[in-house]
Structures are given as C-alpha cells and as structure tokens.
Homo-oligomer: A and B are copies of this chain.
C-alpha cells in the first residue's frame, strides 16, 4: 500500500499520477482548456475523502488497485453510456469500448472511466486502456465478512450479489492519471468535470430542430422530394441525413459522392440549404481502396484493415490533414453541416469481429486497444476542429466516445433498440459529459412508434432514422397529427432548449439530467436553506437520500427512476412505453404542472398520471418562465428576428434566463452571446409583471408578449 499525493489541478479538482502512464489519454487527446474561471463560481470545496482510507496496491498480475471507502447506502453513478442500470453500486463495470453492448458488463459505446458518488465526489481515471470499477462488488475477506453470509435455503433476504464497503478500481498495467472532483453536491461534481473538460457543447441552433435520415440508396431527387414533403405537411425539419449510399463505395468508404446518385453535389446541397435544410453525411473511419485518399493514407494507417479498408492513425497530424482537407473540399465547402460518425466503437468482444484487433500497431506507436478506446474521440475532434477552423458550428452523431467529451458537438446512438434502455442511456449520459439520441428506426406497433417519437422529441437530438425502412412521420395516418404536434412543440420550446445548452457550455450544467442529479441538487439547496450544515460529504452521516429506504422518497425505494429526466431546471419528461396507459412519476419538491392538461401536482412525492396515447407526460415547475417561439418550418438563418413569448407558470413569482447569439458561429466565445435575465414579480395592485434584462449584444429574439400564471403550455 502506498500513500497518494493529490495535487490541485483546478478549483475543486485534484490529480495524482499512479505508475508511468504513457501520456496518450482521453484528456490529452482532446487537449481542451479547463474553464477555470467558471469553476471558481462553484462552491469552494476541500479534497474529498481526506481523512478516509484510500489504498493503493500493486497487483501480482501487473497494474495496481485503488481502493476507496463506501458508505452503506452510497450510490455510484456514471461510468459512461450505461444501458442496464443507473445506480451501479454492487456491480463490476469493465470500461472497454464495445459496439454491441448487450451484456451487463459495463462495456459500451462510450465507456467513460468517470464515476460520480452519491456522497458528492467524482473520480476519473484518465486512460486509453480499459479500466475496471468494482463498485462495491468485490467483498474483501476480513474479520466481519462472515456477517455477510446468508442461508439461501431459508432466508428470503439472500442476494445474488452481496455489497461490499469498498470501491476498487483496477488501473491499467502502465498506471494512469487519476482525478478527484469535489462536490458538495453531485451536480457540482458533474459541473466541475464538464468545465474541466472545456465546458459543455453549444450546438448550432438548427441542431436542436428536427432531423430526418433518408433511405440509404436514395438519390438527390428522392431526397429533395422527401424533404419538401415535410414542408407541405407542416412538420418542422432542419436536418436531412444521408446514409452510406451517398458514398461511391461504402464499408469501407470513399468519402466521395456517388456520381450516379449525386451527379451535382454542390447543387444538391445548395438547393437543400435554400429550402432550409442542413445536410448531414454518414461515414465511418475506414478508407476504401476506391478512395483517392487511400494511397497517401496507407503509410499513415494501422497494421490491420477493416472490411479491407484502412484504419488511419488520426493521432498523426498528416492523417488528420489529409482527412480534413478532403472533407473540407468535398463536403464542408459545399455547405454540408456535419457528420454521423459510425462504427468508431469496434471491439473484440462482439459477435462480428470486424474491428482491428487489440494488438494492431499504429505508426504513432499506439496499439489497437488504445486506438479503439479513443477512436471515437479522435474522429469527433478532427471534425470539430475542421468546423471550428471555419468559425462554423457543427452538430452530429457518433458511435463511440470516452472521457473529456462534453465540449464535443456530438450525440451518441446505438444499434440497440430497447425503448426503456434508450431513456436510461439518456439519463446516464448526464453523469458523464455525454449526449444521447434515442433515435427512432422502426416500431413494433403504431403505439410503440408514437411513444418513441414522443420521447425523441424531448432529447438532445430529435431524429427519425429511416435509413433501413423509409418510414416517415406521416407513414401511419393515425399517428401523424400526434407526431406533428410534438415536433412542432419541440420547435416552439427551442429558445428554452437553446438556453439550457448555453448553461451547459458556460456553467457545465448538463442540459438533460437524470433524477439523482436533480434530487441531489435539490436536497443540497434545501440543506443550505435549512442551514443544517451544507455538505454531508466525508462525514458518512447521510447520503443523497435517493434510492435508499431512509431517504426522502423512501416509499419507492428500489426503483431507480431511470425512466424520467429533467431538461434544464424547469421541465420534467416522463416517457411512456408501449403497453402503458399511465405511469408513476417522481416529482421533485415544489409544485408542478402537467404542461398539456394544466393539472397541478404537489411535488416531493410520486404521482400517478393516466396518459392517453396522444400525450407524453411533460411537467413544468411552479414559477418557471418558459420562452417559446412559433413552430417555424425550420430555424431561420442569419439575422432573421425570432418572435418569442414568455410563458410564466403558476401562482408564484419566478425568474429565469434566456440565452441568444447568432446560432451558427463561435463568436459567442468572444462575447457574442447574450444572456437575458427574465423575471416575473407580483405587480402593484395584484397580478404579475414581467421584465427581461438584456445582457449582451447579439439578440435575435423579439419578446412579443407575456403570459402569466399559466398552468399549461399555450395552444398554437
């Protein structure tokens, strides 16, 4: 066992180096600047776990083991894009990238080695190799271990997995840099992490509109016709995605337009842009021998091919430049808005072994295991920098990520398709600096179709992916009106959504939040108000109370509430799943309104809501001020003014924020953004009065009016 020296790396963040890590890690790969100034705004905090026993021991088989204490009911969250559970206490999480994460092992598309504890601290192992977190799942043999034994023959309390009082982290052979993030609340931990990684991403405004991907072998005219059908039917749409067939050859890919299906790419993209559509291109990292890039990329690629194509070493500047130049010339300069980066997440532990093996060698000296672990980050980074270089924001999709990704303009997706898992992934992403898209690809029934479409409209990226079956929002006549309503509602809520993302960018606050983050934050606030001493961190006296029998919501102990989430502070979304006609919803404290019925609920409890198929349970917090715009066909370009109505909820005064900027460039980083403080107060003589205090230069919003004391969202 060894003592650990922690050195402060940023406000509320400490670092130690264990072993001799190689130097190429998620954080160094991305090399983002920590947002130190913003971190200083968070509560001051001391080094977590000081005074408690942290062990470090070398392992006989190589590597070392870091061991931390766990309180009895301490919850452990995060560790990337987990599909199976939210609280990982009692489980072993093997954080290796995996393109087909069907088993409950911890492997996933985005295996982020960052854990958030219910006791209000976080721990990050910054490594390009697989790290294993034993989240109280390894029961060390000690004096009292025998007390854990129970007789399964007769004791109904017997558990398949006894829970231990140590968190153990198995570090890679060569060691790793380990970071600890302070709270006091879980939300503070996550914000510190996001800010340390460069802050959250702020998508272009159009990125928050509706997305539609067309069938893979569509040609230009078919795409344009399908796009225009959205306009004809009054269904907003901002982005059309093209699938593999736009390439002259795919799997591996050329990155070159197919001359048959797209004889005039520039004209095609230009016509789409004129009609208000962004064009997003599918690709993956493997270069076809048919590609003009092949010859020059060959010496810059790994020793194993993928589908017969090259796997370039994108740690090499020369490879990045070849890729970026080609993409700039043949797509970006034409107006293409971004990419869907598929299959960056190959692994050996899957059914189809299409990926290069762990022992592949790359010209930079990295091996296949490292390269697989960070391939998604590399591709995100190279495309992000390409667009940054043109002072143009992008927003896209990616299948693979890792630590440090909060600042990257990408949303994860998967070939998995369980609706509940999709919502859970959305929740879990919020602990890990990730965004998740519960894309709709197909449905078992019209009911399933509607429920999935409702969910995706309240997610970081609202997309229908018809690449395989060609389904459209109007494919089921009985569903069309419902789906139109929710796509239009998303558009109307866009000023709120955009503000929520701006808070992600500047303050590190996750735009979509799992319930433990919301509740921990709330209890933290409540603790402050009640002056009961603030943080309970390190005292072991109490935990967040979430999901424990003694907690505030003890009646529902055992339920994870991983099927509902908040968007920003004021909206709560509780998706329904096929087969359900209603559901239980855990409301945080305060008063909440059902946004489409106006029903009022006291929070701090579980409520049951019956919910016909045409409705998704959406709640607004008492006192919230929700900025809303019209359901335009698409986000207007450039300097077009956008009319906004301010909708205030309930019987209490309130305050909020409204963010705006040009929606397209990075000028906001140099002061080009505008924060409006909005406030609703009791007016003299009763009733309410609203004010919006302009806070910056580039405001396209024109506040056209106020609605006070609402209990539901206004009809269109």
Which residues on A are within 8 Å of B, measured CB to CB?
Answer: 59-63, 65, 84, 90-92, 94, 100, 102-105, 107, 129, 132, 134, 137-141, 145-153, 158, 160-162, 168, 170, 173, 216-217, 244-245, 247, 249-252, 258, 288-290, 294, 298, 301-310, 348-354, 356-361, 365, 367, 369-370
Within the complex, which residue of B84, B162, B216, B353 is in contact with A161, where a contact is CB–CB below 8 Å? B353
Contact A353 B137 (CB under 8 A): yes
The 7 closest A-B pairs by CB, nearest first: A149-B308, A148-B308, A146-B289, A152-B251, A137-B353, A151-B249, A92-B353
Contact A307 B132 (CB under 8 A): no
Collect the chain B residues with CB atoms within 8 Å of residue A365's CB: 60
Contact B308 A145 (CB under 8 A): yes
Contact status of A307 and B162, CB under 8 A, knowing A170-B359, A367-B61: yes
Give the residue among A170, A310, A352 with the most B Cβ atoms within 10 A. Answer: A352
Within the complex, which residue of B92, B107, B305 is in contact with A141, where a contact is CB–CB below 8 Å? B305
Q: In the bound complex, how far is the Cα of B138 from the Cα of A94, in angstroms?
A: 23
Give the residue among A91, A348, A353 with the most B Cβ atoms within 10 A. Answer: A353
Contact B145 A351 (CB under 8 A): no
Contact A162 B308 (CB under 8 A): yes
Within the complex, which residue of B100, B308, B357 is in contact with A134, where a contact is CB–CB below 8 Å? B357
New A-B contacts (7) at CB < 8 Å, excluding given A103-B351, A153-B258: A90-B353, A137-B357, A141-B310, A151-B251, A152-B251, A153-B250, A158-B251
Contact B59 A367 (CB under 8 A): yes
Collect the chain B residues with CB atoms within 8 Å of residue A158's CB: 251
Collect the chain B residues with CB atoms within 8 Å of residue A349's CB: 94, 103, 105, 107, 349
Q: In the bound complex, how far is the Cα of B24 from the Cα of A61, in angstroms?
A: 14
Q: How many copies does the complex hold?
A: 2
Contact A348 B103 (CB under 8 A): no
Closest B residue to A349 by beta carbon equals: B105
Contact status of A149 and B252, CB under 8 A, knowing A141-B303, A367-B60: yes
Contact A152 B244 (CB under 8 A): yes
Q: In the bound complex, how far is the Cα of B301 from the Cα of A430, in angstroms?
A: 41
Contact status of A61 and B216, CB under 8 A, knowing A90-B353, A141-B304, A301-B141: no
Collect the chain B residues with CB atoms within 8 Å of residue A92's CB: 348, 353, 357
Q: In the bound complex, how far is the Cα of B697 from the Cα of A155, in angstroms?
A: 54
Contact B153 A249 (CB under 8 A): yes
Closest B residue to A288 by beta carbon equals: B149
Contact B160 A352 (CB under 8 A): yes
Contact A138 B103 (CB under 8 A): no
Within the complex, which residue of B63, B247, B358 is in contact with A170, where a contact is CB–CB below 8 Å? B358
Collect the chain B residues with CB atoms within 8 Å of residue A149's CB: 249, 252, 288-290, 307-309
Q: In the bound complex, how far is the Cα of B105 from the Cα of A294, in angstroms?
A: 32
Min CB–CB distance A144 → chain B (angstroms): 10
Q: In the bound complex, how far is the Cα of B303 from the Cα of A152, in angstroms?
A: 23
